[in-house]
Amino acid sequence: MRVRCAEKEAYWRKVVRRQEESGRGVRRFCREEGISEASFYGWRRELQRRDRQEKRSTAVDGGGTCPSPFVTLRVAPPSMSVIEIVHPRGYIVRAPAQVDCDALRQVLAALESVEEE
């Protein structure tokens, strides 16, 4: 099923790109190509939605070409009472859930200064 959907998506991406490059209006393009205007608009809207969703997903999970300013944070179950911080450079900081915030800030600042050297 996914293969069929991927093929359909690829087909409609090509159709939308051809229409944009043709310089013709959607109505004329669809009529001349024998494509349903309603299908064209529906797929164009769906592809734009998917692209926006992919863009948001990339921004959130740090994919893409720009380094993410965020670090991965995994919250341990309450029974373990541990905070684990994974720094983008690979440092892992584990601290008890009741850690002194100032002490944790100092540790993270120290890690940042190591990167600058």
Q: Output the CA torsion sign for 34, 37, 43, 49.
A: positive
> Mean pLDDT in the chain?
80
Query: Phi and psi at residue 24, in whole multiples of 5°?
Result: -90, 155
- Which two tokens mark 36? 């349903």
Q: Where are the alpha helices (DSSP H) in the chain?
A: 2-22, 26-33, 37-61, 101-116
Per-residue pLDDT at 1: 38
Does residue 94 surpass a pLDDT of 90? no
Per-residue pLDDT at 93: 85
Per-residue pLDDT at 17: 95
Mean pLDDT for 69-84 is 67
Domain locations along the chain? 2-61, 72-116
63 by DSSP, 3-state: which? Answer: coil
Residue 33's alpha-carbon distances to 16, 18, 74, in angstroms, are 12, 10, 52
